[in-house]
Amino acid sequence: MRLKARDLLGIEELDLQDIELILDTADGFLEVARRPIKKVPILRGRTVVNFFLEPSTRTRSSFEIAEKRLSADSVNLVGSGSSIVKGETLIDTGRNLEAMSPDIIVIRHSSSGAPHLLAHKLRSSIINAGDGFHEHPTQALLDAFTIRQKKERLEGLRVAIVGDIAHSRVARSNLLLLRKAGAEVTVCGPPTLIPPHIEKLGAHVTSNLAEAIEGADVIMMLRLQLERQKGGYFPSLREYFYYFGLTVEHVRRAKPDVIIMHPGPMNRGVEITSEVADGPYSVILEQVANGVAVRMAVLYLLLGGSADEEAA
Ligand code: CP
């Protein structure tokens, strides 16, 4: 089986078969991290440009490590070190990068739709590494991979996504994926940080944290995206923590085998206590580890790989 699309722009564009293909392929790549020589020759001679116009620790390093493990040649460019700061447009930048014949361009941008624009204008495959408030598809895929690894399924699970839903591309991509996979999703946050009409995507909505996590199989905490918040969405960080910060007492309301997730970076003491983040239910660093295998799968499949040919 092969991926139907040439680009990975969002979960919206994937069907459940594509999602399962990516997760199954990632399963096969997981063991590469445990080898003494962490490299397979699958993308030898291929070139990937990682173009990040917003800060990133996990996604950027995860893509670069995934590319190197597949033996691809990686080029890393950040917005502040590119000629965008001299006034070059995104499309001109993309066309100039493409003139050097990369196979894939991975882009993170503060504007929703920037990866779609490049996909429309360029021949290279485009991977969305996070665009504005819109989508972060590889984060949702690695989250789904981690949930499936721990729970052996996605269908029928109760997932609570808590925090700054309005500014979170992670929440949107996860909601889309989890609903496609048949999970039950509750989003929870201050009413000012819940986007209008989110229930049309199949989410239950509440501003009561206890209600959101009652009986949950998975609790996914989100970062307060203060850099994207233009107004006073809540009175103070102290008050936010009081109503929406995840503590050990809250976790007791969930299922006994609940897993706690966070895409990072975390604001400790704001959306989650250190006791929970570093506690026995936390899979936060496993999410990061799994991200490499999932991104290897995405890169491999977008360049025409199939689930049957994988590995070596
Ligand atoms: N989860 C995530 O996107 O983290 P970074 O911003 O560090 O890439």
For atom 4 of ligand 1, the residue with the nearest CA is 58
Give the pLDDT confidence of 248-260 residue by residue, as tens digits.
999 999 999 999 9
> For ligand 1, which residues put their CB under 6 angstroms from it?
56-60, 130, 136, 139, 263-265
Judged by DSSP in three states, 206 sits in strand
pLDDT at 310 over 90: no
For atom 1 of ligand 1, the residue with the nearest CA is 263
Cβ neighbors of 122 (< 8 A, separation 6 or more) are 94, 95, 98, 105
In ligand 1, the atom with minimum distance to the C-alpha of 264 is: 1
Q: How many other β-carbons are positioned within 10 Å of the β-carbon of residue 208?
A: 12
Distance 108 CA to ligand 1 centre (A): 10
Give the pLDDT confidence of 116-134 residue by residue, as tens digits.
999 999 999 999 999 999 9
Distance 65 CA to ligand 1 centre (A): 14
For atom 3 of ligand 1, the residue with the nearest CA is 59
Report, in angstroms and rounded to the nearest whole number, the Rg of the chain calculated over CA atoms: 19
Q: Which pLDDT value is given to residue 132?
A: 96
8 A C-beta contact, residue 239 and residue 207: no
In ligand 1, the atom with minimum distance to the C-alpha of 60 is: 8
Q: Which pLDDT value is given to residue 225?
A: 80
Distance 241 CA to ligand 1 centre (A): 22
Q: Which pLDDT value is given to residue 249?
A: 97
Mean pLDDT to the nearest integer, 207-236: 88
Cross-sheet strand order for the sheet of 125-131: 73-78, 47-52, 104-109, 125-131
Distance 171 CA to ligand 1 centre (A): 13
Q: Which pLDDT value is given to residue 42?
A: 96
Distance 13 CA to ligand 1 centre (A): 21
What are the respective helix, strand and coil percentages of the chain, to the nearest 5? 45, 15, 40
Q: Whose structure tokens read 């991979």?
A: 145
Amino acid at 153: R
- Which of 50, 51, 54, 58 best tests ligand 1's pocket when mutated (most atoms within 8 Å of CB)? 58
Confidence band for 108, pLDDT divided at 50, 70 and 90: very high
Q: Could you tell me the pTM of the whole model?
A: 0.96
Distance 167 CA to ligand 1 centre (A): 14
What b/e string do you get for 235-259 counting C-beta neighbours within 10 Å, with b at 16 or more? eeeeebbeebbbeeebbebbbeebb
Q: Which pLDDT value is given to residue 246?
A: 98
Q: Which pLDDT value is given to residue 311?
A: 53
Q: If you average pLDDT over every residue of the chain, what do you get?
A: 95
**For the chain, give me the number of helices (H) and strands (E)?**
11, 9
Q: Whose structure tokens read 């996990």?
A: 58
Q: What is the torsional sign of CA 226, 232, 236, 241? A: negative
Q: Which pLDDT value is given to residue 288?
A: 98
Token pair of 8 as six digits? 């990975």
Q: Which pLDDT value is given to residue 232?
A: 74
Amino acid at 188: C
pLDDT at 180 over 80: yes
Q: What is the torsional sign of CA 43, 136, 37, 26? A: negative
pLDDT at 46 over 90: yes
In ligand 1, the atom with minimum distance to the C-alpha of 57 is: 7
Work out the burial of residue 274: count CB atoms within 10 Å of its CB; fewer than 13 is exposed, 13-18 middle, 19 or more buried: exposed
8 A C-beta contact, residue 108 and residue 57: no
pLDDT at 209 over 80: yes
Q: Which pLDDT value is given to residue 312?
A: 52
Cβ neighbors of 110 (< 8 A, separation 6 or more) are 53, 54, 131, 132
Distance 285 CA to ligand 1 centre (A): 12
Distance 187 CA to ligand 1 centre (A): 20
Cross-sheet strand order for the sheet of 184-188: 204-206, 184-188, 158-162, 218-221, 259-261
Rounded to whole angstroms, the Cα distance separating 229 from 105 reads 29
Confidence band for 111, pLDDT divided at 50, 70 and 90: very high
pLDDT at 137 over 90: yes
Mean pLDDT to the nearest integer, 244-249: 97
Distance 130 CA to ligand 1 centre (A): 9
For atom 6 of ligand 1, the residue with the nearest CA is 56
Confidence band for 229, pLDDT divided at 50, 70 and 90: low
- Which of 52, 54, 59 best tests ligand 1's pocket when mutated (most atoms within 8 Å of CB)? 59
Q: Which pLDDT value is given to residue 226?
A: 74
In ligand 1, the atom with minimum distance to the C-alpha of 263 is: 1
